[in-house]
Amino acid sequence: DCGVKRINVSLDTLDPEKFRQITRWGNLDKVMEGIDAAQAAGLKVKLNAVALKDFNDAELPEMLRWAHGSGMELTVIETMPMGEIDADRTDQYLPLSL
């Protein structure tokens, strides 16, 4: 009713423990419920996943299959400097040009 037609959701993993680790508090089940509710309401869902070496790199093909099979777009993006945060992801950089 307010003109919202699409939402973006950051989702770097489908593993609940990894999700909690990377978000520092997140609950994957709640996020999945929100995605389901958005789709049920007729919203398009676009997912963004940061590719992280030795964290979610092995999951990315399955995440793409799941997203596309569920009618969602998934954009895989490279990690970038985040300023002053607790973690330095430089060693997890995974170039997407390969």
Predicted pLDDT at 1: 78
pLDDT of 69 reads 97
Q: Kindly report, residue by residue over 52-86, the tens digit of the pLDDT.
A: 888 999 999 999 999 999 999 999 998 765 555 55
Contacts for 13 with CB less than 8 Å, ≥ 6 apart: 19, 22, 28, 49, 55, 56, 59, 63
Contact between 6 and 44 under an 8 Å Cβ cutoff? The reply is: yes
d(C-alpha 24, C-alpha 56), whole Å: 16
Assessment of whether the complete model's pTM goes beyond 0.85 = no
Q: Is 15 helix (H, G, I), strand (E, B) or coil?
A: coil
User: How far, in Å, CA of 85 to CA of 97, rounded?
Assistant: 26
Six-digit token string for 61: 């093909």
